[in-house]
Amino acid sequence: MKMKFRISGLREIEQALRRIARATPEAVQREALHDAGEIVAERARSLVPVRSGNLRDSIAVADEGQSGVLSQGGVEVFVGPQADGFYGHFVEFGTVNMAAEPFMRPAFDATRDEVMDRLGGDLWRPIEKAAKGK
């Protein structure tokens, strides 16, 4: 027996998503991501093993880099060790000579809800306005 399904409203959702992207300028999205990223960075700084403090002090939110990515509507920010902490991935994942001491992934996992709440709050007004078609 074949079953048929009909989904309605996809066109409206797609249009609303386009309005949302237009309603939240890149600068608004970037600022919201930086705010949310700082939550993750702060947690990572508290979790990273400290020897000299260089790795801890290099954890930041940046507009470009190689660290963990937060994105919204095509805008990305990078959260994690910057140039001075270039060896952070060795600490996070380990090497053949050193056991892993994860700090970034646990920071992302531990702050997920708080990050989503922050992003929701920072982006809600332009999204609500766009959803109403204004």
| Model pLDDT, residue 100 | 95
The two tokens of residue 16 are 């609303």
Does the predicted model carry a pTM greater than 0.85? no
Q: How many CB atoms lie within 10 A of CB 34?
A: 18
pLDDT (average), residues 37-44: 95
Q: 60 near 95, Cβ under 8 Å?
A: no
Cα separation, 106 vs 102, in Å, equals 7
pLDDT at 85 over 60: yes
